Amino acid sequence: MRGAILYGPGDVRVEERDTPRILEPTDAVIRTLATCVCGSDLWDYRGVNPAKDPTPIGHEYAGIVEEVGAEVTAVRPGKFVVGSFFAGDGTCPHCRNGYPSNCLHREFVGGCQAEHVRVPWADGTLVATPGLPTDAQVPDLLACSDVMGTGWWAAVAAGVQRGDTVAVVGDGAVGLCAVLAARELGAERIIAMSRHESRRQLARAFGATDIVSERGAEGAARIQEMTGGIGADRVLECVGTEQSTEQALKSTRPGGGVGIAGVPHGVQIDGAALFYSHVAVQGGPAPVRRFLPDLIDRVMTGRIDPGRVFDLTLPLDQAAEGYRAMDERRAIKTLLHP
């Protein structure tokens, strides 16, 4: 089969790879109908996380089940499924507590920018749609496998409730999906922080009521000003730098919550500042599987359309251009069709 391989900084190639097959009785193999490039893939692409050897890349996928292992009961061949980038067994205490992305037996589902994907722990990881989706729904469902699930998690971790004022730090695909999540969870005022016109437009379409272009300390001061010196009820951190984390903490009212969806890179949090702020913080790799049934339902019933974050669609063979476009910020997010 064809699949994307990262050879080194800036060097992604689509080549022949071994077609994955069932290795464990709990596996499924799916035929990928759509996959995509993640902001977090860019860390590897830019060499921030240096790859030692050529590595199959990609961790977002949606497609048709081709084959399942002997112990798989929740999905069967022919079903359209969406899954999470972390496979979890669905039965360990962490999974039962709602944290499948911290499953005691979790496995990263890598190499997904390819025609086929092996998904471990299929019962605990994949969710089938009720009937086959339309072509138009496929990007929306694909978005649920990571960015929409991660934006939703940011909102849940921050504790978004009906009527809240919510600020979203970061205007990448996750930040935009976090705006959509805040809207769906009933936030009354949603402040998106963005400097890019195309992203601002999508933020508004997803439910943002206000747009702020300031960043860092100025961004936090602007949120304080807009909320009468009180702070936002919830702030969704979708970047992962020290500056964005501090901005999020300083934008939140005492007793409010910060949900951290951006993978922290070099972030230190001052314990005393956090303490005196009275702000509640939770983050982590999104427990996407927890939200998938609900998100799939919202897509299939037309409530949400997170696939709009894909502003570039290419055949899988042009993955290299998909990476370049995102790296150069010409695209928010690239969808790849195998």
Residue in this structure with the two tokens 């299929």, named with its chain if needed: 122
* Contact between 93 and a copy of itself per CB under 8 A: yes
Longest CA–CA span in the chain (Å) reads 60
| Backbone φ and ψ of 323, nearest 5° | -65, -45
Asked if residue 255 binds a copy of itself (CB under 8 A), the reply is: yes
Q: Which amino acid is located at 104 in the chain?
A: L
Residue 270 found at the interface with a copy of itself (CB under 8 A): yes
User: How is 70-124 classified by DSSP, letter by letter?
Assistant: TT--S--TT-EEEE-SEE--S-SHHHHTT-GGG-TT-EE----SBSEEEESSHHH
Q: Which is nearer to a copy of itself, 97 or 213 (CB)?
A: 97
Nearer to a copy of itself, 97 or 198 (CB): 97
Residue 48 interacts with a copy of itself (CB under 8 A): yes or no: no
Piece in contact with a copy of itself (CB under 8 A), picked from 15-23, 71-79, 109-117, 262-270? 262-270
In DSSP terms, 232 is beta-bridged to 252
Which of 272, 301, 302, 328 touches a copy of itself by CB under 8 A?
272
CA angle 40, 13, 143 (to 5 degrees): 40
Name which of 79 and 253 has its Cβ closer to a copy of itself.
253
Q: Which one of residues 88, 90, 219, 285 is an interface residue with a copy of itself (CB under 8 A)?
A: 285
Residue 133 binding a copy of itself, by CB under 8 A: no
By beta-carbon proximity to a copy of itself, the closer residue of 219 and 231 is 231
Judged by CB under 8 A, does residue 265 bind a copy of itself?
yes
Judge contact between 337 and 314, C-beta under 8 A: yes
If one asks whether residue 47 binds a copy of itself (CB under 8 A), the answer comes out as: no
Q: 50 or 266: whose CB is closer to a copy of itself?
A: 266
Burial 172-204 (b: 16+ CB within 10 A, else e): bbbbbbbbbbbbbbebebbbbbbeeeebbebbb
Binding site for a copy of itself (CB under 8 A): 93-94, 97-99, 101-102, 104, 157, 228-230, 242, 245, 253-255, 260, 263-272, 274-285, 287
